[in-house]
Amino acid sequence: MISLIPLFIFIPLLGFIISLLIPGKKENLLSMAAFVSVGAHFILFIIFLFYWFLNGRVALNLKEIVIYQTSNYEFYLDFYFDKITAVYLFVGSFLTFLVTIYSRAYLHREKGYKRFFNTILFFYLGYTITIISGNFETLFIGWEILGISSFLLIAFYRDRYLPVKNAVKVFSIYRISDIGLILAMWATHHLWHENITFLKLSNYELAHEHLQNHTWIGIFISLMILLTAAAKSAQLPFSSWLPRAMEGPTPSSAIFYGSLSVHLGVFLLLRTFPFWEYQLSVRIFISLLGLFTAIVASGIARVQSSVKSQIAYASIAQIGLIFIEVAAGFENLALFHFAGNAFLRTYQLLVSPSVVSYLIREQFYNFSPRAHTIEDSFPKRLEYSFYILCLKEFNLDSFMYRFFWNPFKRAGKRLDFLTVKRAFIFFVPAYLVGLVFVFNEAYIPENLHEYLPVFFALIGLVMVLKSFTERKNVQMSWLLLIMNHFWIALAISFNEHFNYSQNVLYLSGIVVCGMLGYLCLRRLKIFETNIDLDQFHGHSHKHPKIAFVFLLSCLGLTGFPITPTFLGEDLIFSHIHENQSMLALFVSLSFIIDGISVIRIYARVFLGPHVKSVYDMAYRSS
């Protein structure tokens, strides 16, 4: 029975590949490929679930493929099936099947019909990998697929300004969750000295034995898991991204942000609960975060003028309550609550366009006075203040910009003196000096050797900050991102066991995708002359093939699981020592800003209203 688990990944993968090969004009074939693959997946799961129940519902763990192995490091795919997997996979397969049926007619004759079904199948593949993952490394593969498919579905209407802008905003929050997961993986490598599986993680004796002398590492891992879960499930202070994600088509809003993707933060907490179960401070913190999110999101939902935004904030409030249930140890209640909330929000989002059209007359002709609410019992000043805060969505967007993004932008703008020529004049000699230090490491004084990795990682961070704030020269922004990865590789090379072959593994994907992306930008510049980063250009309309190849290059440069760089990123963090917190901070910040900058370049150059369009586009959302 356990050998059937890889089929849950193979079926959506096969459906995705088939859908890529079907011409865009063949709507029936495209929808049928999605319908058959998701339907077959659902039927297979029901049969598997039936046999699993008959055989005592024991937890199944399958170590499938060892992808990379050294003397002190092993990267392997591990699959795990238990009660949590069963509930999430049932809800996911059933709702995806329903939404696939709904979308066949809903998106009829839509320009991006093929693109929608390709992305839905790609999302479902990532969701399945995430749910049946047996360790952090396998989960991270699915996590990355979900992030990029989210971006593509929000920016589905890619010739409009707002969907593209909001897609970049959502991806930036997802990137924070990615780095939280990577840092949690880094700390677990040092705590267990192996890629720990969730089956071992649920062993209380084993976890308690390792945490006895490493209390702070345990708290750090738990907080990174919470950061990842909060960003993915739109908890405070990340709540504002979810209503912005509703710019995509209604079916994708239902399946992504109403039911499945937004509940993956809960899944991560449930999966890692045995690890932080006995950390009382972490459990209290998760409960308070869920409580404040539920209160704030409930107030915001009640003053929204858009039905999709109301549903989004109502879902956030319910997820906040599920966070409390998980922290309290009510696993069964949390799973039941997840399933109920997922079904309800999917239904509400799918019928929301019809409800608006049915009730549009009643809002004019059937006036009903406002009912008495709990806020009316507050002092008037407090009631009005709460109302204004809810209207402004508690300034959550402003909070993120003021305390997170704006400091990076200000730091990057101080580097305006940096040009392509100056960057290369500095980069080549400084990098050669760094290589001399690496190959003559034995002669470096001990006190200097301690600071060299941090110094070179800081140079890489400076490069990526400049790329993030660059508004004119797109080619320079792209080259700086490539340089950043070389500086990171150089910084980690000072730590033992990170040898030449591992450097090649990490940088091979960067070099290939970097060169391919640069050639795409050069070729586009020949056709269009001006491709600065000061506005959206929408060149995917006239140059779809260049846009597709450049998107693949972007994915490779961000460490997506299509190049060896994905393994290289995990290798890098596994070689950062436990006491090198500053190095881990600089490298993680570099990866966050690098990913956002890459997607920003793609969005600015290829998405949005076409630069030569004579038609006006709305610049603010309702």
Contacts of 570 (CB under 8 A, 6+ apart): 75, 137, 140, 182, 185
Distances from the Cα of 307 to the Cα of 163, 189, 301, 314, 346, angstroms = 17, 45, 9, 11, 13
Q: pLDDT band for position 622 (50/70/90)?
A: very low
Question: CB under 8 Å to 525, separation ≥6 — which residues?
Answer: 475, 531
pLDDT of residue 122: 92
Q: In the structure, what pLDDT confidence band is assigned to residue 371 with cuts at 50, 70 and 90?
A: confident
**Residue 453 sits in the same domain as residue 543:** yes
Q: What pLDDT does 367 receive? A: 61
Mean of the per-residue pLDDT values for the chain? 85
How far, in Å, CA of 530 to CA of 525, rounded? 6
Angstrom distance (rounded) from CA 500 to CA 291: 49
Sign of CA dihedral 516, 522, 524, 530: positive
Which element (helix H / strand E) includes 353?
Answer: helix 331-359
239 in the same domain as 323: yes
Does 7 score more than 70 pLDDT?
Answer: yes
Strand, helix or coil for residue 118: helix
Q: Residues 12, 13, 19, 21: what is their CA dihedral angle, to the nearest 10 degrees?
A: -160
In angstroms, the CA 597 to CA 476 distance is: 12
Task: Name the token pair of 325.
Answer: 């249930």
Sign of CA dihedral 172, 176, 182, 185: negative
What percentage of the chain carries pLDDT values higher than 90?
Answer: 23
Do residues 352 and 450 both lie within one domain?
no
**Tokens 């969505």 label which residue?**
393
Shared-domain flag, residues 320 and 428: no
Over residues 261-276, the pLDDT tens digits come to: 899 999 999 999 988 8
Identify whether residues 140 and 284 lie together within a single domain.
yes
- pLDDT the model gives residue 375: 72
The region of weakest confidence among 205-214, 240-249, 406-415, 448-457 is 205-214
Q: Report pTM.
A: 0.91
| pLDDT exceeds cutoff 60 at 615 | no
Q: What percent of the chain has pLDDT over 70?
A: 93
Instruction: Looking at the structure, tell me whether residues 304 and 436 fall in a common domain.
Output: no
Residue identified by tokens 């996590």 is 143
Domain of residue 560 covers 414-606
Q: Please give the pLDDT value at position 616.
A: 59
Residue 332 and residue 210 share a domain: yes
At which of 362, 378, 397 does a domain end?
Answer: 362
> What is the per-residue DSSP string for 366-397?
---PPPP-GGGGS-HHHHHHHHHHHHTGGGHH
- Reported as a single tens digit per residue, the pLDDT across 283-303 is 999 999 999 999 989 888 888
Same domain for 356 and 431, yes or no, is no
> Is 424 part of any domain?
yes
Torsions phi, psi for 79 (to 5 deg): -115, 140
**In-domain check, residue 226:** yes
Specify if 405 maps to a domain. no
Confidence of residue 390 (pLDDT cuts 50, 70, 90): confident
Say whether both 447 and 314 belong to one domain: no
Q: Residue 531: which pLDDT band, with cuts at 50, 70 and 90?
A: confident
Mean pLDDT of 360-388: 72
Name which of 220-234, 240-254, 378-392, 412-426 the model is least confident about: 412-426
pLDDT at 497: 67
Amino acid at 348: Q
| Other beta carbons within 10 Å of 339 | 18
**At residue 418, does pLDDT exceed 80?**
no
Asked if residue 594 belongs to a domain, the reply is yes
Among residues 309, 226, 324, 229, the alpha carbon closest in space to that of 267 is found at 229
In this structure, the answer to whether residues 206 and 334 fall within a common structural domain is yes
Q: 556 near 510, Cβ under 8 Å?
A: yes
| Confidence (pLDDT) at 449 | 77
pLDDT for 31 equals 87
The structure tokens listed for 48 are 């598997």
Amino acid of residue 416: D
Q: Per-residue pLDDT tens for 12-40?
A: 999 999 988 888 888 889 889 888 999 99
Q: What is the pLDDT of residue 293?
A: 92
Mean pLDDT within 391-419: 78
Over 60: is that where the pLDDT of 134 sits? yes
Are residues 350 and 419 located together in one domain of the fold?
A: no
- Determine how many CB atoms are found less than 10 A away from the CB of residue 535: 13
If we measure between CA atoms, which residue out of 282, 262, 261, 257 comes closest to residue 272? 282
pLDDT of amino acid 431: 83
Averaged pLDDT for residues 168-184: 88
pLDDT at residue 320 is higher than 90: yes
Widest pairwise Cα distance in the chain: 85
pLDDT in tens, 229-260: 999 998 988 888 888 888 888 888 888 777 88
Predicted confidence (pLDDT) at residue 618 exceeds the cutoff of 60: no
pLDDT one-digit tens code per residue, 492-527: 888 776 777 888 888 888 999 999 999 999 999 888
Number of domains in the chain: 2
pLDDT classification of 326: cutoffs 50, 70, 90: very high
| Residue 396 forms part of a structural domain | no
* Structural tokens at position 410: 């200000």
- Is 87 part of any domain? yes
* pLDDT band (50, 70, 90) for residue 621: very low
Short-list 430, 510, 413, CA closest to 470: 413
Owner of token pair 């989004």: 312
Residues 306 and 441 both lie in one domain? no
Do 209 and 239 meet the contact criterion of CB atoms below 8 Å apart? no
Highest mean pLDDT among 179-183, 201-205, 244-248: 179-183
- 276-290, 563-577, 598-612: which range is least confident on average? 563-577
Please return the burial class of 588, using the count of CB atoms within 10 Å of its CB with bins 0-12, 13-18 and 19+.
Answer: buried
Residue 387 lies in a domain: no
How many residues appear in the chain? 622
Predicted confidence band of residue 359 (pLDDT cuts 50, 70, 90): low
Residue 85 placed within a domain? yes
Read off the pLDDT of each residue in 173-183 and give the average, rounded to a whole number. Answer: 88
